[in-house]
DNA sequence: GGTTTTTGACCAAAT
DNA sequence: AATTTGGTCAAAAAC
């Protein structure tokens, strides 16, 4: 996720569909405007009367506002929550490997364990809608090579809610995996399953999946490395809007600088949340954070925070006004 | 008969 | 140096 350094809170709303018209400033800033919504396949205002289109735009605008309100709540709460305060000065998700991982934590050093277990392939997110994924941490770690050099490996940890009765430990992330091992670990009675990408050895990505010790309905999937091939596409796994449907608006937001990077996925009801840890330090209690994210207090704080950011962004308000004006009939 | 999963054994790093 | 633990291998079983 691209993050900005100039503001403690940067809203990076990557919302919407491929552009049809010339990108507005708001679009360039990543914001989906009301006009975009109305002109998208999700909104069919063009074929309606002005009254119908207006009502539809109003409804869509309300819908997006509501989503933004929820996101504001979540961001504000997370940002205010100083449990995230342990970050490097840069606060950037793409840390130099030397700071992204503890000196003894590269993949391959086995005993650094879950502290380096926070991992990311950058790919397991796109199916949060299917899996009920609620959080992820990303860090880069160094993997020593035989020639003495190190390569950076992206590592991501994803929490996913699954059926407690489901013992398969299968996390639907859109990729194909081959299981190569299972192990019971010391601090969790549930076994940990080890998977390699089905395209191995050409694709080096691995993942570990283990049911949460505290909540058996949650599984933690740890991805190591990045896929070097496209996701095997299957019907029904595309985002509803991208597939031409009228579903939720894809959206992501990032916060950065002195705080953590947080990604909110509006393709999921209630919004999936990724917490992207800037440094290699393990997040002490992400599960707790996830529970807090769902709380009314969190939502309220998020509303205020996001509203402040949006209304304070002159570019956004100008672009929104311009987009609405374009959709108004000429008299 | 080929592919995938299971599972005990093995190895290496950490303690 | 011995033990513990996590990760991987590979033969057997299952599909």
Q: State whether the beta carbon of A178 lies below 7 angstroms from any atom of strand C.
A: no
Distance from chain centroid for Cα A63: 20
Q: Which residue is nearest to nucleotide B3 (CA to C1')?
A: A178
Q: Provide the β-strand partners of residue A133.
A: A160
DSSP state string for A66-95: HHHHHHHHHHHHHHH-GGG----SS--SS-
pLDDT score, position A274: 41
Q: 3-state DSSP call for residue A164?
A: coil
C1 C1' – A109 CA distance, angstroms?
Answer: 21
Q: Find out whether A39 and A45 touch, Cβ atoms under 8 Å.
A: yes
pLDDT score, position A303: 62
Which pLDDT tens digit goes with each residue over A142-198? 555 545 555 566 777 777 777 666 666 777 777 888 888 888 888 888 888 899 888
C7 C1' – A115 CA distance, angstroms?
Answer: 16
pLDDT score, position A14: 34
Assigned token pair, A17: 């569909």
Nucleotides of C under 7 A from a protein CB: 4-10
Nucleotides of B under 7 A from a protein CB: 4-9, 12-15
Q: Provide the β-strand partners of residue A196.
A: A178, A206
Q: What is the pTM of this model?
A: 0.45
Q: State whether the beta carbon of A109 lies below 7 angstroms from any atom of strand C.
A: no
Which pLDDT tens digit goes with each residue over A30-75? 333 343 433 443 344 444 455 666 666 667 656 656 665 565 455 4
């Amino acid at each position: 996720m691209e993050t900005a350094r100039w503001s403690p809170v940067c809203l990076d709303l990557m919302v919407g569909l491929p552009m049809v018209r010339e990108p507005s400033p708001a679009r360039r800033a990543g914001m989906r405007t009301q006009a975009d919504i109305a002109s998208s396949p999700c909104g069919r205002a063009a074929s309606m009367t002005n009254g119908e289109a207006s009502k539809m735009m109003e409804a869509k605008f309300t819908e997006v506002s509501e989503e933004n309100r929820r996101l504001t709540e979540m961001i504000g709460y997370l940002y205010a929550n100083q449990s995230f305060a342990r970050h490097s000065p840069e606060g950037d998700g793409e840390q130099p490997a030397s700071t992204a991982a503890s000196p003894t934590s590269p993949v391959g050093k086995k005993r650094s364990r879950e502290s380096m277990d926070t991992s990311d392939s950058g790919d397991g997110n796109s199916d949060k809608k299917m899996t009920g994924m609620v959080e992820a941490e990303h860090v880069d770690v160094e993997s020593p090579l035989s020639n003495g050099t190190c390569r950076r490996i992206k590592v991501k940890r994803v929490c996913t809610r699954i059926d407690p009765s489901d013992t398969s430990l299968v996390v639907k992330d859109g990729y194909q995996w081959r299981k190569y091992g299972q192990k019971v670990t010391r601090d969790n009675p549930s076994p940990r399953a080890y998977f390699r990408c089905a395209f191995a050895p050409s694709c080096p990505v691995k993942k570990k999946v283990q049911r949460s010790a505290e909540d058996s309905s949650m599984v933690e999937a740890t991805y190591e490395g990045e896929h070097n091939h496209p996701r095997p596409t299957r019907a029904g796994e595309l985002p509803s809007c991208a597939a031409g449907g009228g579903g939720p608006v894809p959206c992501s937001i990032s916060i950065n600088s002195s705080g953590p990077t947080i990604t909110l996925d509006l393709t999921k009801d209630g919004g999936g949340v990724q917490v992207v840890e800037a440094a290699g330090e393990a997040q002490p209690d992400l599960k707790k954070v996830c529970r807090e994210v769902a709380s009314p207090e969190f939502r309220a704080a998020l509303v205020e925070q996001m509203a402040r950011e949006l209304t304070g962004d002159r570019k956004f308000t100008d672009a929104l006004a311009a987009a609405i004006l374009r959709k108004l009939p000429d008299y």
